[in-house]
Amino acid sequence: MDAMTRCGAIPPHLLEHLAQSSNEHRARRAQATLQADQRHRTARIDIPVPTQPDDEDEAEAGEQPQAGNPNRTIHDAAHSEHLPGKEVRTEGAPETDDPAVTRAYDHLGATYRLFSEVYGRDSLDGKGLPLIASVHYGTDYANAFWDGRQMAFGDGDGDLFVCFTSALDVIAHELTHGVVERTARLAYFDQAGALNEHLADVFGALAEQYAAGHTADKATWLIGDGLFTDAVEGAALRSMKAPGTAYDDDVLGKDPQPAHMDDYVETFMDNGGVHINSGIPNRAFYLAATEIGGNAWETAGKVWYEALTSGEVKRDATFEQFAAATSGAAVRLFGDGSAQVKAVNAAWEGVGVPTP
């Protein structure tokens, strides 16, 4: 991922749609969020790109580091856009009376536990990287983002979106971009960018499932459920089970995600449709996880994590190349001809992506 790229929870195509709303208040708030995103992207141009892992790192060697303990620090941006803001809670400190601080602290911890306890990864970089977050970012800021160094959460607009610390899967999604930055470093354009968003959705969903103890057949497979207010006709930002069905609202429009390569969207918007076409690999992961059954973090999740950290996934990877990487990872983990390998291959075939 390029150093100047900031990944936000709300896709730009959705905010741009809102910015054209006939409701002046909604349009103004959406425009303010888009402008804040643009200012922050510009401010990050001089931040260095994370270095490529060396031969001893697990991204090249396929070795998993030992798990450690989280190191969380939460700040209060006090509705400014200056990060990180005032420090309000550190690792192990007592809970404050601010629910946003509590949720941010807890959800950072839940994400850490998924990667640590299931995949043996010590934080985002595998080396105990501190987890830093700021709450109450901006005024009526309807988004959350990972900027390469920390998380930031807006309080929502009070109209369509609630506080962005509310959704564990969204927080885990954003933090997973930090994992991708330090492993495959997928470029944030076209199919590689859609894979970047896809992987963030995968581990966002798995963090929520792991925390709740939900098996693949019991999980919602929704990303960002709970972020909408009652004013929105929709369940979530995205559906991994049924891309294109997450929302259909007079204000937000209709979920544009395709579920099959036959409907792949060719566009110059959204860095080549990274938030749109990610629906295709998302559906593939859902199909693999539910076909295998049980706890998705233990089966399909391990396959996807193995592929991500194997060194086989290049910065400009296509869907087909990533499918091949997951197929190979499944063979290494479960054996050639296993039910898991067959499920992974069938899942990709089911969305129109061929596998070896």
**Tell me, what DSSP letter sits at residue 66?**
P
Catalytic residue among 75, 107, 136, 174: 174
Give the span between the Cα atoms of 220 and 128, in whole angstroms.
31
Q: Decide if 288 contacts 347 (C-beta within 8 A).
A: yes
Examine the residue annotation and report whether 260 is marked as an active-site residue of this protein: no
Q: Decide if 78 contacts 84 (C-beta within 8 A).
A: no
Catalytic residue among 58, 275, 306, 312: 275
Measured between its terminal Cα atoms, the distance across the chain in Å is 27
- Rounded-to-10 torsion of CA 261, 263, 267, 270: -80
Give the span between the Cα atoms of 299 and 288, in whole angstroms.
9
Question: Exposed, middle or buried by CB within 10 Å (0-12, 13-18, 19+), for 346?
Answer: middle
Q: Decide if 77 contacts 85 (C-beta within 8 A).
A: yes
CB atoms within 10 A of CB 89: 21
Give the span between the Cα atoms of 261 and 353, in whole angstroms.
7
Examine the residue annotation and report whether 174 is marked as an active-site residue of this protein: yes
Instruction: Give 133-159 as a DSSP string.
Output: EEES-SSS---EEE-SS-EEE----SS
Q: Which residue numbers are catalytic?
A: 174, 275
